[in-house]
Structure 1
Amino acid sequence: MHYRNPWRKLLLVLLCGGICLSLSAQFRDPRPKKKQPNIIVFLVDDMGWEDTSVPFWTQLTEKNKRFRTPNMERLARQGAKFTSAYATPVCTPSRVSLMTGMNAARHGVTNWTSPRKDNNSDAPDTQVGAADWNYNGFSPVSNVPHTVYATPLPALLKTAGYYTIHAGKAHWGAMGTPGANPYNMGFQVNIAGHAAGHPQSYLSEENYGNMPGKATVQAVPDLEEYYGSGTFLTAALTQEALKAVNDPVRLQQPFYLYLSHYAVHVPLQADKQYIQRYLDMGLEEPEARYASMIEGMDASLGAVMDYLDAKKIADNTVIIFMSDNGGLSLAPPRGGQPFTQNAPLRAGKGSVYEGGIREPMLVKWPGVTPPGSVIPQYVIIEDFFPSVLEMAGIQLYETTQETDGRSFVPLLQQPSVTDSMRTLIWHYPNKWIPDGGPGINYKSALRQGRWKLVYDLLSGQTELYDLETDITEKNDLAAKEPQRVKNLTRLLSAELQRRHAPMPLNRATGKPFPWPGQQPL
């Protein structure tokens, strides 16, 4: 068990217990007990850093001008904008990190999980054997093969008195394992969450995939009342989520809403309310569909914020906005040239370059976040776990797992604080797509301060970038900074070994590829 409070403090409480109890009868604290805030995590799937009219860089880019996200702008005005927020290259690892506070190198769910049990989703490779990763995902129950066992965030919140609601994409574990079902994670309500990582259809005209004789494992459950109604999946999930929130609001019970949209993952299907604007702009059809899905997602955020205002609970509600990985940059299904959709960031989903891991992140905590603040300190998806617990006022708790995340609450209180010594790592010992791409397949990376190391797990090749002067990662400084490369490679190796990270196998020898910096096989 891992405890999140010093034992010394607990011992002190026990020693003074008798004195404190006797005094409490005479001296009661007249101050009202601080009310637990409602907490909303608004998670988007496959949304890129620039896929919004809110600039997360030092300037407004041409891509920013393409999208219309007025409610993200509204949230940024009311809260804090993180300009260096990170997730993992693909979806399931990020979602497991958020749920457990563990880095992907530690929890071992390093790739997206198949809906089907015992199905390794890695693309086939004739020379490289699959790493021994947890391809059945995350489990709140021990001894499930090829899963990581951990204490989930909503279970801790539920124990602390929160009403816990899940709406949308789950994708933590395969069918037939406990991790597939949000109820097993501590959620009291589940709306449309199951093992699949994308919807079969966003269209009510297609019953969100539940057409007789045509349904697959990706068909979205639970939304029968919207069939044929013309309601896009994003809007249907929003309406159902807000219905579920009505119960705790009526009972004046704090709630945790995890609104995890399937948008903007493929299939790219037009949200008819918004697409014409983008066609009129001259965007090619795939990009117009994509932009319409972004605007529909933003309308969902607006509906949530309007609801909080109408119920007069906005002042006691935290909203955290995040994407689970970088924007998709494969063309098709996107338009344009492959791996350019997130420029000036390099590459996209599946890559350890910035385009695959840097995300739009906004946080509003009334009374804590200075409105309109900008936070330059880099953070990562596993930081959500301790941050949400701190927001909820949960100080003493225990977990099965050792966690890696660090609370970003101090940054919300003092946005200008930075820590250039903090080390972030990414580990992707998997093969995502057959043909690869920039920073895709069998890569690890590390960031410390302004410096970022990219490491090829198969060849041992290293790249070094100064993100303060080169956000595009075009100027490889490895040859000019050999000692820095050596030091960061050692640090990456130590972190991967400390967390027992899975490594790909060399088929010729049957052995794992060496840790970074060690001699090749």
Structure 2
Amino acid sequence: MNQSSAPGEFRILSFLALCFLSTFLFSACSKKDQQQNIILFLVDDMGWQDTSEPFWTDTTEFNKRYHTPNMEKLADQGMKFTNAYASSVCSPTRVSLMSGMNAARHRVTNWTLRRNASNDRPHPTLKLPKWNVNGMQPTDSIENAVHVTPLPQILKNNGYYTIHTGKAHFGAIGTPGADPENLGFDVNIAGHAAGAPGCFLGEKNYSAAWRNGGNAWDVPDLEEYHGTDTYLTEALTLEALDALKNPVEEGQPFFLYMAHYAVHVPIEADKRFIQKYLDMGLDKTEAAYASMIEGMDKSLGDLMKFVEEKDLADNTIILFMSDNGGLSAHARGGEPHTHNRPLASGKGSAYEGGIREPMMVKWPGVTEPSSICDQYVIIEDFFPSILQMAGVKNPETVQHVDGESFVPFLKGKKAARDTTRELIWHYPNRWGGHGPGIGTTSTIRKGYWKLIYWYKDQSKELYNLKNDIGEYHDLSEKNPQKVGELSRALGEYLRSVEAQRPRFKDSGELVPWPDEVEAK
């Protein structure tokens, strides 16, 4: 009897084993093919040196000043980019991020706020162009705006639960683009048209009333923290963590855009962290600034802790970036234009201090821990990169996408893009600050070479960033051939996207393109 039943038992055991193996393989494949959760952590006005994690070959005095242990942890777990770029002011960066377009093409080339109102400061000799002052819009019915298919809308259409927290600054007051929910976010926490908070302090209701500012600057949606000692960065973090509970409980992939108002002005101390910086001997303003940076870093750590505790760390991509260089022209302590050294100048400048940013990406199972990428990338690259990370193929957009995916770099593939790709910055405007590199300019980087064209007098500056990261030595007179080469490339690109340019006030004629004038 035992012998006669053995074949049947064997078949049953084989069947059970096959079922177990099939279940295991299905589970493994499902986990592998599962959409990645994505956290995009964007800091406002954070400079390349505003961290204890070095983004240069040397550890600097600024790296020793600041305390950002969670940035250090993220760098240990992922890839650090040492040549990451944004625009020199905020709105152009944010529109490029959400559209994949270069600023010269989308024409939101300065910061936005009120409908049909330009924030350009008057120029003594130039009439500045009428740029897209109303920002980015999900419709083509808004004047002086760029119509786009926004990144969060595409992610939402592909199954993501999308959360916006913090600074939006996408569209002018009274336009659809001012509300992140019109751009594809399921949830909007504290995002509106303004690009700065009225205040960082809960005791002052995050309002500008204390400085007689208009209510356009008051941070919305955080009334439950009014009258408390909750710093704005902390309030936003708490709200983001609460919003994440819904997709986590439902098992839905999420895209969290954690866009802090910090470390923008007004520079106000986060009392949880300031004392150590005062004890270091920093002046009151710089100590407050350092405390804001540490508060931002705590937020990053809180989000990383959340995904770890929810067992999501292996399936969550974290991207870290800043929207422009660190503020240095005004409102800071110490000597102006020095806060981003060895980089020159700061926010608003065409020099490296205005456009080079701290960037990191952690993609578990893809990025090698503690790896460094020296290839250069620019803010519009985030659009195609994030969509590729999310598994979205060939998305339909109303706009032309200029960005190039940096996913190959995350996978360890080396490319020759550092010598062949051209990065373009276009700022036919006039910012509020004054200082080195701050003005009406167009700029190109190709390889280690960088050319800046000044519309005010049609002069050109040429730098080799490999040998001169601080842009101390203008090589335009010594290397006219390189000036001509980059001028042609810059001019051809600007014409190809129908970029705007100023006119001379005295004649009304358009200022020449960079390749239409000889180097001075």
For 1:93-492, what aligned pairs fall within 5 Å after superposition?
Answer: 93-113=92-112, 115-209=113-207, 216-331=215-330, 333-414=331-412, 416-419=414-417, 420-433=419-432, 436-492=434-490
Q: Tell me the secondary structure at the aligned position of residue 239 of structure 1.
A: helix
What CA distance in whole angstroms lies between the structure 2 residues aligned with 1:176 and 1:346? 37
Aligned to 2:58: 59
Look up the match of 1:503: 501
1:336: how far off?
Answer: 1.3
What is the rounded CA distance, in whole Å, between the counterparts of 2:296 and 2:92 in structure 1? 22
Query: Which residue identity is paired with 2:172?
Result: A
Q: Which moved more, 1:122-131 or 1:460-469?
A: 122-131
Letter in structure 1 aligned against 2:236: L
Match of 1:494 in 2: 492
**Residues 298 and 142 (structure 1), Cα distance of their counterparts in 2 relative to 1, 3 Å cut:** same
Instruction: Report if aligned partners of 1:153, 1:385 keep a CA contact under 8 Å in 2.
Output: yes
3-state DSSP class of the match of 2:384?
A: helix
Larger Rg: 2
Instruction: Give CA deviations for 1:271-327 in whole Å, capped at 9, x if unaligned.
Output: 000000100000011111100000000000000000001100011000000000000
* Partners of 1:373 and 1:415 within 8 A in 2: no
User: Alpha-carbon deviation of 1:511?
Assistant: 2.7
Q: CA deviation at 1:396?
A: 2.7
Deviation of 1:173 (Å): 0.8
Aligned residues: 489
Q: Which amino acid aligns with 2:119?
A: S
Separation in 2 of the partners of 1:124 and 1:158? Answer: 41
Find the counterpart in structure 2 of residue 32 from structure 1. Answer: 29
Deviations 1:344-376 (A, max 9, x none): 100100001000000000100000000000000
Q: Distance in 2 between matches of 1:125 and 1:472?
A: 27
Indicate the residue corresponding to 1:71 in structure 2. 70
Q: Is 1:376–1:416's contact at 8 Å kept on the other side of the alignment?
A: no
Given that 2:197 and 2:208 are in contact with CA atoms closer than 8 Å, whether structure 1 keeps it comes out as: no
Judge conservation of contact 1:171–1:197 (CA < 8 Å) in 2.
yes
In 2, Cα distance between equivalents of 1:172 and 1:255? 21
> In the superposition, relative to structure 1, how do residues 224 and 137 fare at CA in structure 2: closer, same or farther (>3 Å)?
same
Whole-Å separation in 2 of the counterparts to 1:401 and 1:86 = 21
Distance in 2 separating the partners of 1:148 and 1:374: 35
Aligned mates of 2:502, 2:292 — CA distance in 1: 36
Q: Is the Cα contact below 8 Å between 1:132 and 1:503 reproduced in 2?
A: no
> Is the Cα–Cα contact under 8 Å of residues 172 and 193 in structure 2 kept in the other structure?
yes
**Alpha-carbon distance change, 431 to 248 in structure 1, aligned in 2, over 3 angstroms:** same
1:416 Cα deviation from its structure 2 partner: 4.5
- The CA distance in 1 between the partners of 2:362 and 2:332, in whole Å, is 32
For 1:317 and 1:415, locate their aligned partners in 2 and report how far apart those are by CA, in whole Å: 21
Whole-angstrom CA distance in 1 between matches of 2:413 and 2:424: 23
Shift of 1:128: 1.4
SS in 2 for 1:389: helix
Tell me the distance in 1 between the aligned counterparts of 2:52 and 2:377.
22
In 1: Cα distance, 2:414 partner to 2:52 partner: 23
Matches of 1:511 and 1:477, distance apart in 2: 30
- Report the Cα distance in structure 1 between the residues aligned to 2:324 and 2:47, rounded to whole angstroms: 7
- Greater Cα shift, 210-219 or 399-408: 210-219
CA–CA distance in structure 2, aligned partners of residues 274 and 413 of structure 1: 37
Is the CA contact 2:125–2:456 (under 8 Å) kept in the aligned structure 1?
Answer: no
Partner of 1:511, secondary structure, is coil
C-alpha separation between the residues in 2 aligned to 1:505 and 1:184?
36
Task: Note the aligned Cα RMSD (angstroms).
Answer: 1.5
Partner SS for 1:167? strand
CA distance in 2, matches of 1:396, 1:323: 27
How far apart, in 2, do the equivalents of 1:176 and 1:202 lie?
Answer: 24
Instruction: Give how far 1:519 is off.
Output: 4.4
More off after superposition, 363-372 vs 137-146: 137-146
Task: Provide the secondary structure at the position in 2 that maps to 1:363.
Answer: strand
Give CA-to-partner distance per residue, 1:459-495, whole Å, 9 cap, x none.
2211111111110000111111111110110000001
Q: Which amino acid aligns with 1:467?
A: L
**Post-superposition shift, 1:406?**
0.3
Q: Partner of 2:96: helix, strand, or coil?
A: helix
Q: Distance in 2 between matches of 1:106 and 1:411?
A: 26
3-state SS of 1:517 partner: helix
Secondary structure in 1 matching 2:463 = strand
Measure how far apart 1:417 and its partner are. 3.9
In structure 1, runs of 5+ residues without a counterpart are 1-28
Q: How much does 1:267 deviate?
A: 0.1
Contact 1:375–1:415 under 8 Å retained in 2: no
1:75 positional shift: 0.2
Q: CA deviation at 1:211?
A: 5.6
Q: 1:454 Cα deviation (Å)?
A: 1.0
**Does the residue aligned with 1:40 lie in a helix, a strand or coil?**
strand
Cα pair distance change 1:406/1:462, threshold 3 Å: same
User: Is the Cα contact below 8 Å between 1:127 and 1:508 reproduced in 2?
Assistant: yes
Match of 1:43 in 2: 42
Greater percentage in helix: 2
Q: Which amino acid aligns with 2:138?
A: P
* Distance of 1:153 and 1:106 partners within structure 2: 17
1:215 CA displacement: 5.5
In the TM superposition, residue 337 of structure 1 has moved relative to its aligned partner by 1.4
